[in-house]
Amino acid sequence: MTWKRPPPREVKRIGGTIGPRDTAPSSGLAAVLAQDLPPIRTPARVPTSPHAEEARGRRIRESARGKDCQVRYVGICTYDSTHTIWSHARWGAQLGEGGRGMGTKADDLAGAYACGACDGAFDQMTNAGDMTRAELDLDWLLGHLRSLGILQRDGLV
């Protein structure tokens, strides 16, 4: 016994029928997709070479001079803007392109404005008191978001 495909059914519509291989009438979406759209322009600040990428990173790192600490660990932060640095993310490269790992430098966008005391606590170089690793990471990420806003406001990203 062999199986045979049943014949295609015709779809009834108001005003006529459409066969199985007929094209649907032009809809609004098809008309929009058929239009010639202007080409997408890339932003002017996208680095085009490794030298431009390094120059952007250097500007970001140097912008930390005189900025307020954005990490602000309670009981650790000195709130001293003369010792603010650009603190890079400490997570490994397996968590994304921004992290650092063995022989891999963290991307300069994966950072935050931090005073020396907050950066030391984040990198586990100084005692963080009774703060857990999760609390340190959360406060650092909040500082990272605040720092990205400052970088955008200053036109560095």
**pTM of the predicted model as reported, rounded to 2 decimal places:** 0.62
- pLDDT > 70: percent of the chain: 64
pLDDT tens digit sequence for 45-71: 555 677 777 888 889 999 999 999 999
CATH 3.30.50.20 fits 64-153, yes or no: yes
pLDDT digits (tens, 9 = 90+) for 101-131: 555 667 788 899 999 999 999 988 888 888 8
Domain boundaries, the chain: 64-153
Q: What six digits make up the tokens of 108?
A: 């300069």
